[in-house]
Amino acid sequence: MNVLVIGNGGREHAILLALKKSKRVEKLYCMKGNAGTAEIAENVNVDYMDTEAVKEYVSAHPEIDYIVVAPDDPLAAGLVDELEAMGKRCFGPNKAAAVIESSKAYAKELMKKYKIPTAESETFESYEKALEYVRKKGAPIVLKADGLALGKGVLVCETLQQAEAGLKEIMLNKAFGTAGNKIVIEECMRGLKYTPGEEVSVLAFTDGKTIVPMITSCDHKRANDGDKGLNTGGMGTFSPCPFWTEKLEKQVMKTIMIPTMKALNAEGRKFKGCLYFGLMRTDKGMKVVEYNSRFGDPETQVVLPMLKTDLLDVFEAVTEEKLSDVKIEWEGGACVCVVLASGGYPESYEKGKEIEIGDIGDATLIHAGTAIKDNKLVTNGGRVLGVVAKGKDIEEARSKAYSAAENISWENMHYRKDIGIKYREG
């Protein structure tokens, strides 16, 4: 089969690497891709947000049998609906189902209606009413722009002053554009050991009938060590989550995952694809922080390398609604991904820096923002590379990933030194 993966980043490179292992895959394509995806796939220089251009390309390439739509924005825009209408088989939810990520207000409403545990919240379209509510509730409090905002539309406010300033930024100054036309205001959840609580990402395959959680992972969203600095798209991940247990998985399946799948079905929004549960262990049990309608980035970089089953088999089973027929198996041990970023990210940074790569042992480089210029590998984004290593446990995987990272360099390269050590005590 010939498979096209839509997206440019580390997540897409990780999906392509997993698909490459499939005996049934003949040729891979990536739209638009990066220097890493070009090594294993044909990069297609078409803007995936230009639906007409994507359709034109797909019509002109009937040899493409299957299409994976990986990023949130084309899913929210309904690219899967358009491609399916052309008779193409796809992995990814349709527009109606993708709303679980593209509107936080919708996701909260759904959880309220179906009693899925999450932080208490109210949604506002009026700045004055939102301000009144914030003053009534006091700090700490969490503000969330309703729409897609590159993972940056959430403010955890420690003080009332911060919350009032944040509200102004989102609703009046439109810091996240139209994503801030509506705002969700939430209680700040406390954890068993920390505030905010301990977080775990659970990606799950679902065909709307069956839902199968993958191995768990933990992300590091802040730019600097000790969870300091600005929120980013993710500075590193590790798998599995240290506090996850079989008992917890059973409980989460019963209280969160199955109820979410059923709720979406009941609302006429059957979800087929990868449903991402951002969960928090709180002093009142496991709760949903957010849903994503897609594979996480950089979670995918530590989850898919551990998959033993053929990924294309799983994808097709989701499309055919036969997921219950597939046995999905995982390797034991652990996996760590350290993201190497451009100096300055997530604020302004320079591109086009030449990347030097020395001995990386048995680690794998997952490309995010890279390109080839004058036959040289150069930086082409904020998050540039993910250094992924496996080990018998997180400690071993961590040490391999960091040994490899030390042998990679470019001007002003920046990475966190503490990926994989949180929640160590379980």
Residue 142 as a binder of ligand AMP (CB under 6 A): the answer is: yes
CA distances from 353 to 89, 232, 341, 372 (A): 39, 21, 12, 11
Q: Which of ligand AMP, ligand GLY, none interacts with 368 (beta carbon under 5 to 8 A by kind)?
A: none
Contacts of 414 (CB under 8 A, 6+ apart): 223, 340, 341, 342, 343, 344, 345
Contacts with ligand AMP: how many residues (CB under 6 A)? 15
Residue 235 as a binder of ligand AMP (CB under 6 A): the answer is: no
* CA atoms of 141 and 131, how far apart (whole Å): 12
* CA atoms of 107 and 104, how far apart (whole Å): 5
Nearer to ligand GLY, 157 or 289 (CB): 289
Q: Which of ligand GLY, ligand AMP, none interacts with 198 (beta carbon under 5 to 8 A by kind)?
A: none
Count each helix (H run) and each strand (E run) in the chain, helices first. Answer: 14, 25
Nearer to ligand GLY, 198 or 219 (CB): 219
The CB-of-70 to ligand GLY minimum distance in angstroms stands at 10
Q: Which of ligand AMP, ligand GLY, none interacts with 299 (beta carbon under 5 to 8 A by kind)?
A: ligand GLY
Q: How far is CA 327 from the centre of its chain?
A: 24
User: Which one of residues 189, 203, 252, 279 is an interface residue with ligand AMP (CB under 6 A)?
Assistant: 189
* Interface residue list for ligand GLY (CB under 6 A): 151, 219, 234, 292, 296-297, 299
Measured from each CB, the residue nearest to ligand AMP is: 196
- Three-state DSSP at 110 gives helix
Residue 175 as a binder of ligand AMP (CB under 6 A): the answer is: no
CB–CB of 16/40 below 8 Å? Answer: yes
Nearer to ligand GLY, 10 or 180 (CB): 10
The CB-of-154 to ligand AMP minimum distance in angstroms stands at 4
Nearer to ligand AMP, 141 or 365 (CB): 141
Which of these ranges, 59-67, 86-94, 181-189, 332-340, lies near ligand AMP under the rule CB under 6 A? 181-189
Which of these ranges, 34-42, 65-73, 108-116, 186-194, lies near ligand AMP under the rule CB under 6 A? 186-194
Nearer to ligand GLY, 130 or 340 (CB): 340
Q: Which of 423, 239, 417 is nearest to 336 (CA)?
A: 239
CB neighbours (10 Å) of residue 343?
15
Burial of 289 (0-12, 13-18, 19+ CB in 10 A): buried
Q: Which of ligand AMP, ligand GLY, none interacts with 401 (beta carbon under 5 to 8 A by kind)?
A: none
CA distances from 172 to 254, 291, 392 (A): 40, 26, 50
Q: Which of ligand GLY, ligand AMP, none interacts with 119 (beta carbon under 5 to 8 A by kind)?
A: ligand AMP
Q: At what angle do helices 95-102 and 258-266 cross, to 10 degrees?
A: 130
For ligand AMP, the binding residues in 289-328 under the rule CB under 6 A are 289-290
Q: Which of 123, 115, 114 is nearest to 142 (CA)?
A: 123
Which of these ranges, 40-48, 171-179, 182-190, 369-377, lies near ligand AMP under the rule CB under 6 A? 182-190
Q: Which of 209, 202, 313, 214 is nearest to 271 (CA)?
A: 209
Applying CB under 6 A, the residues found at the interface with ligand AMP are 119, 142, 144, 151, 154, 156, 186, 188-189, 196, 199, 221, 278, 289-290
